[in-house]
Amino acid sequence: MANFNRVILMGNLTRDPQLRYLPSNMAVCDFGLAVNRRWRDKDGNQKEEVCFIDVSAFGRQGETINQYMTKGKPILIEGRLRLDSWTGQDGQKRSRHTVVVENFTFVGARGDSGPGAPGDRGAMGGAPERRSQDAPPSHYEPEPGPPTGEEIPF
């Protein structure tokens, strides 16, 4: 049987990212993400539900998120769901689900505090924005592998 584990979320950071390094010198950035859902109930009343998600980003992705993101800023992440299990100090077994980032996109224009701010291109994109050299990339993907035959310039 085939398996598929893919998560796509867009929301706001609930806290500043926390960067740490594993003994292998691999960077790990942990942060929380709040994703809102709005709907109307059968009586026409506006309802809102918030889902809080723990997120981890590894390597250069984690360092980039830690450098440019702060509490309240929006981000779009793609990743996979992971189950962490451990035994607490009280001897009880504990577990939680975490999303591990595989790709991410900064949402909104530089310097904006969130979606809907002036210059926000939203989830649908729009005209490309000119960036200065020190501006964060609008979309980050892992380093490409070795070049294929089509990419070799001769």
- For residue range 29-66, list pLDDT tens digits in order: 999 999 999 999 999 999 999 999 999 999 999 999 99
Quick: pLDDT tens for 69-92: 999 999 999 999 999 999 999 999
Helices (H) and strands (E) in the chain, counts: 1, 7
| H/E segment holding residue 67 | helix 59-68
Whole-model pTM over 0.75: no
Domains and CATH numbers, the chain: 1-37+47-86+93-116 (2.40.50.140)
Per-residue pLDDT, averaged over 14-30, amounts to 96
Q: Are 58 and 100 in contact (CB under 8 A)?
A: yes
Q: Residue 135 has what DSSP assignment?
A: S
Quick: pLDDT tens for 123-154: 333 333 334 444 455 555 555 444 555 555 54
Q: Beta partners for 34? A: 12, 52
The pLDDT score that the predictor gives to residue 126 is 38
